[in-house]
Amino acid sequence: MEIVKTLFQFLAAALLAPLLPGVINRVKAFFAGRRGQPLGQLYYDLFKLLLKTPVYSRTTTWVFKAGPIIGVASLVTALALLPFAGRPSFFAFEGDFIFLIYLLGLARFATVLAALDTGSAFEGMGASREMQFAVFAEPAFFLGLAALARVTGQPSLAGMFGALTGDTWRTAAPVLALLTASFFIVLLAENSRVPADDPNTHLELTMIHEAMVLDHSGPDLAFILYGASLKLWLFGALICSTVLPRHTGSWASDSALFLLMMFGVAAGVGIVESVIARLRLTKVPFMLITAFAFSALALIFQMGR
């Protein structure tokens, strides 16, 4: 019975992930006074792209074709590690949060290699920026997870989020609040959301993530878009499990609450995108250093407790 539940959790996450960008877009449209695209727009896009024939430039090699596949495969694996509503996934093991960070790094590495393989100047620029910001985002994320492991005394993601309860918020509220803030900033930067990058611009000179995937088409682009939504789901799930560590005891109500919270996080991202402007490119590292400072503070707080 348990294995069915965990498989169902995994499938639900994999299937519902493309809904999050839809929620963000609807919230943004609401703030701009528009009706916006349908909630399930990404599903239509993915379906359309999967039916198309990819086009490959003659300068590219197998690296270019492998990039999106490795990217989406490592993100799906990362999703299999992720606890759902504080309940362990079927793939959880001790120390899996380090594996999770490496999987995210592998996905990024594959995308960057594919971008460099095209030989296009824009893609090289995008790849360089992506790596530059990753240098700041990864320590923040890693230190945050380390602090969380320290708070709960558990070495696995499932253990961490399983051990988090309302009581932890009562005793270690400052640490958890700092961690939530840090994770949210990392979410915005890693998913190329507004203060770091504008997902709507198609001006290559200012793009970060989007500039790397300009040459992909058809199913490859579908994999990349799906991978991006999985990444958004992943960071959102980490924030939700930190903020809302309630365990009502019933699986169904826990899951429903978790899903509601996920859409809440997506709406929060939409609101942030609607009310603040994007940062100048040279200021983005400052934002990520702030996230790093939050994570480091949380860790120091916890160490000296």
Partner 1 sequence: MHTFAELTIVFIILMDLALAVTGSLSSCIRLVALQGVVAGVLPLLAGHGAPHLRAVAFAAVIISLKGVIFPWLLMRARDRSGAGKDVEPLISYPASIMLCLGAFIASSWLGSRLPLPEANVAWIVPASLATIFTGFLLITTRRKAITQVLGYLVIENGIYIFGLALFVEQPMMVELAILLDVFVAVFVMGIAIFHISREFDHIDTAELSELSDWRRGEYGK
Report the interface residues with partner 1, using CB under 8 A: 170-171, 173-174, 177-178, 285-286, 289-290, 293, 296-297, 300-301, 303-305
Record the tokens describing residue 35, joined without a space: 């009706």
CB of 284 to partner 1, least distance (A): 12
**In this structure, are residues 211 and 217 in contact, taking their beta carbons and an 8 Å threshold?**
no
* Range 125-131 contact pairs with CB under 8 angstroms and sequence separation of 24 or more: 125/204, 125/205, 125/211, 126/204, 126/207, 126/208, 126/209, 126/210, 126/211, 126/212, 126/214, 127/212, 129/208, 129/211, 129/281, 130/208, 130/209, 130/212
CA distances (Å), origin 36, targets 15, 21, 140: 22, 12, 34
**In this structure, are residues 18 and 266 in contact, taking their beta carbons and an 8 Å threshold?**
no
CB of 129 to partner 1, least distance (A): 17
The sign of the dihedral angle between the CA atoms of 272, 229, 297, 197 is: negative
Among residues 105 and 174, whose Cβ is nearest to partner 1?
174
Measured in whole angstroms, the distance separating CA 260 from the mean position of its chain's CA atoms is 17
CB of 34 to partner 1, least distance (A): 34
Angle at 18 between CA 261 and CA 25, to 5 degrees: 75
Among residues 75 and 176, whose Cβ is nearest to partner 1?
176
CB of 251 to partner 1, least distance (A): 31
Among residues 102 and 286, whose Cβ is nearest to partner 1?
286
Among residues 178 and 232, whose Cβ is nearest to partner 1?
178
| CA 179/CA 97 separation, integer angstroms | 15
| CA 57/CA 232 separation, integer angstroms | 30
Among residues 173 and 276, whose Cβ is nearest to partner 1?
173
CB of 170 to partner 1, least distance (A): 7
**In this structure, are residues 49 and 222 in contact, taking their beta carbons and an 8 Å threshold?**
yes
CB of 246 to partner 1, least distance (A): 18
Measured in whole angstroms, the distance separating CA 233 from the mean position of its chain's CA atoms is 6
CB of 286 to partner 1, least distance (A): 7
CA dihedral 91, 97, 98, 103 (to 10 degrees): 60
Among residues 84 and 141, whose Cβ is nearest to partner 1?
141
Is 290 exposed, middle or buried, given 0-12, 13-18 or 19+ CB atoms closer than 10 A? middle
Among residues 178 and 185, whose Cβ is nearest to partner 1?
178
Among residues 39 and 293, whose Cβ is nearest to partner 1?
293
CB of 133 to partner 1, least distance (A): 14
